[in-house]
Structure 1
Amino acid sequence: MERFLVTGGAGYVGSHVVLALLERGDEVVVLDDLRQGHRLAVPPGAELVVGDAADRHLLRELMASRRFDGILHFAAISLVDESMREPMRYIRENLGNTLALAEEAVKAGVMRLVLSSTAALFGSPENIPIGEDERKNPVSPYGESKLMAERALEWADRIHGLRSASLRYFNAAGADPGGRLGEDHSPETHLIPCAVNAVLGLGRPLAIHGTDYDTPDGTAIRDYVHVADLADAHLRVLDRLKNCPSCRYNVGSGTGASVLEVIAAVERAAGRPVPHVLGPRRAGDPAILIASNERLRRETGWAPRLGALDDIVRSAYAWRARNPRGYSGMAALSSGAGPGPAAWPDQAAALPDTERAMASP
């Protein structure tokens, strides 16, 4: 059994990774400021520390009071459109919290770190499928902030020996197959949950951005990876860092699905049409983005177990259909304020014992 610090562990991908760590018997401390995360997304058995991942005083206190075997770093802001309006904020926050975390980890002797990175650092790639060595050319401050974080970690390894793994996600999607966790962003910008919300009547009709791409049906093609498979990749690279050097991996299914194919999959899951409207392309959107996962497969033995588009969509639809108000609906149920199923039957009672809030002076 090992103990890990998970920043942003109350968020979408982070919470699924926390669940995977707990299920294999590890201890987990989640550090999350809850700006984007949800208390009820933190699985029972994990300790929740409410605070900022860039707070050096808090990081020092955490690392001084516990022995961590590694860190998984998810805390970030990640809206591409917003980053185009607030570039300095994105670079300051995403790079800054990575630097703070890496520096305090080195001081504390915690020498394994897994970074939640992104395919956005590739921009508009020249080669499909996209390998790890594809030219890095971000077209947004969000992508640039993650590329800068990766480069900073490379220097932390060269100078201090901090081994790191950067996982470049393509499109994380789906929900915990057991129905305990799901995707709940505000605002929601990802295609699959937006399509699910539209078919459930929880939002506006889905906007299709561009129908004139050079693809079989004219809509953009993207690579979707189930969030549970993504969690498995994190555990594999975390273990690999015990005995291997720093590494960078692209994480995707290795296949693509068009926007219209995603809509058809949601319609199969729901049994009814997805309301949608057609619109023009968005500036900077490539026609096709598909990952090469060959290196990850070869070096870690990883393979997607839930890689079929219908599997991904069914899990996303099932969670949202049961939880139409997301985690806020679960919180209302636990307080007796409204209907809706709870993610964790004993979570409300357990929170005071599992949460330890820490604040800076």
Structure 2
Amino acid sequence: MARFLVTGGAGYVGSHVVLALRERGDEVVVLDDLRQGHRAAVPHDVELVVADLADRRRLDEVFAGWRFDGVLHFAALSLVGESMRDPLRYLAENLANTAGLADAAVRSGCRRFVLSSTAALFGNPERMPIDEEARISPGSAYGESKFMAETALDWADRVHGLRSAALRYFNAAGADPQGRLGEDHQPETHLIPLAIDAALGLRDPLTVFGTDYPTPDGTCIRDYVHVTDLADAHLRVMDALETGPSVRYNVGNGRGHSVKQVIEAVERISGCPVPHDVGPRRPGDPAVLVASNEKLRRETGWTPRYAELDDIVRTAWAWRSAHPRGFDDRSAMPLAGGAAGASTARAA
């Protein structure tokens, strides 16, 4: 049995990765300050350390208390708009916390590291679909901070032999198909949950930012990848790092859907109208962003199991309609079904 440290493991993508690790029998320790994560998203049989990643003394205690086979790093500031209002905070915190975590891993003898990165590295790309050779030109401080984190990991490999994989997500979406986990952000900024909440009457009508883009229906096109497929990609690249070199992958479905198509899918799955208004374009929004996942498929055998937009929306709708107040609707997640005798989650 392998043991992994997952920072931000009480958050959206991180919690789905924790679930996938437990389901295959790995031991997991989650480190999360719970500013954005949810205690209820961590399975009962997973150790939860409630701590700030910037607390280096506490971080050293975690690495001294367990021997890890790898680190999966999700804990970060991640709102593009906020990063443009407070860029120095994003640049300093995301880089410093990644570098500090990598340093702790190196000093403990851990030699595998998977970083949650972003397609925001590419800004306004010159070609579609976007592959790993596309020019890095972040259009936000958030994207720049993730690129700086990737660069820090490159140096950790060159100097210390810390092999890393950076997964550059496009639009993570959906929920655990068994209904155990879902998306619960405060504030929520992702289109699919915003459309679902509008359909449920949990928020004001959705705003569609621009209907005059050079796309078939005039609205922006984005690549949506199911969060369970994202989790599978993390496990595959972590396993590959055991014998392979550091690597960078773009992770998406490889095809895009427009804002109008997402609204129509939510209406189709829910049977409810999605109230929405039309607003002006947002500055900096590209018309189309679609990933090339060819490299990830070729080198790891990954393929999205939930590639259809309706499948993604169906899982998101099922979770949110069952938990309209998010994780506040339940006290804790059940056992993940991994090894027996694992420790109970606690605040360390």
Category of TM-score, reference length = shorter chain = over 0.9
Deviation at 1:53, TM superposition (A): 1.6
Deviation at 1:273, TM superposition (A): 1.1
Q: Is the 8 A contact 2:43 2:335 kept in 1?
A: no
Give 1:33's aligned amino acid. D
Q: Calculate the aligned-residue CA RMSD, in Å.
A: 1.2
Q: Give 1:133's aligned residue.
A: 133
Deviation at 1:103, TM superposition (A): 0.6
TM-score, length-scaled by structure 1: 0.93
Give 2:344's aligned amino acid. T
Q: Is the 8 A contact 2:226 2:312 kept in 1?
A: yes
For 1:343 and 1:112, the matched residues in 2 are separated by 28
Q: Is the 8 A contact 1:179 1:343 kept in 2?
A: no
Superposed CA deviations along residues 28-63 of structure 1, whole A, max 9, x for unmatched, are: 000000000000001222110000122211111111
In the alignment, does 2:245 pair up with 1:255? Answer: no
Q: Which one scores higher on RCO, CA 8 angstroms, separation ≥ 6?
A: 2
For 1:182 and 1:357, the matched residues in 2 are separated by 22
Superposed CA deviations along residues 217-255 of structure 1, whole A, max 9, x for unmatched, are: 000000000000000000000000000000000000000
For 1:298 and 1:191, the matched residues in 2 are separated by 30
SS across alignment from 1:145: helix
Superposed CA deviations along residues 7-27 of structure 1, whole A, max 9, x for unmatched, are: 000000000000000000000
For 1:282 and 1:20, the matched residues in 2 are separated by 36
SS across alignment from 1:76: coil
SS across alignment from 1:135: coil
Q: Give 1:288's aligned residue.
A: 288
For 1:321 and 1:65, the matched residues in 2 are separated by 40
Deviation at 1:357, TM superposition (A): 2.9
For 1:343 and 1:95, the matched residues in 2 are separated by 31
For 1:245 and 1:117, the matched residues in 2 are separated by 18
SS across alignment from 2:76: coil
Give 2:42's aligned amino acid. V
Deviation at 1:93, TM superposition (A): 1.2
Q: Give 2:297's aligned residue.
A: 297
SS across alignment from 1:354: coil
| Runs of 4+ with >6 A deviation | none
Deviation at 1:343, TM superposition (A): 4.6
Q: Give 2:328's aligned residue.
A: 328
Q: Give 1:338's aligned residue.
A: none
In the alignment, does 2:308 pair up with 1:308? Answer: yes
Q: How does 1:19-30 map to 2 (within 5 A)?
A: 19-30=19-30
User: Of 329, 332, 357, which residue of structure 1 is paired with 2:347?
Assistant: 357
Q: Is the 8 A contact 2:42 2:345 kept in 1?
A: no
Q: How does 1:116-155 map to 2 (within 5 A)?
A: 116-155=116-155
Deviation at 1:270, TM superposition (A): 0.8
Q: How does 1:140-219 map to 2 (within 5 A)?
A: 140-219=140-219
Identical pairs, percent: 70
In the alignment, does 2:49 pair up with 1:49? Answer: yes
Q: Is the 8 A contact 1:36 1:185 kept in 2?
A: yes
The number of equivalent residue pairs is: 342
For 1:323 and 1:329, the matched residues in 2 are separated by 6
Deviation at 1:168, TM superposition (A): 0.2
Q: Give 2:340's aligned residue.
A: none
For 2:59 and 2:6, the matched residues in 1 are separated by 12
For 1:330 and 1:133, the matched residues in 2 are separated by 44
For 1:178 and 1:44, the matched residues in 2 are separated by 17
For 2:190 and 2:132, the matched residues in 1 are separated by 23
For 1:118 and 1:319, the matched residues in 2 are separated by 25
Unpaired segments of 5 or more residues in structure 1? Answer: 332-341, 347-352
Q: Give 2:334's aligned residue.
A: 344
Deviation at 1:356, TM superposition (A): 3.8
Deviation at 1:330, TM superposition (A): 1.7
Q: Give 1:58's aligned residue.
A: 58
Deviation at 1:328, TM superposition (A): 1.6
Q: Is the 8 A contact 2:84 2:140 kept in 1?
A: yes
For 2:62 and 2:239, the matched residues in 1 are separated by 22
TM-score, length-scaled by structure 2: 0.97
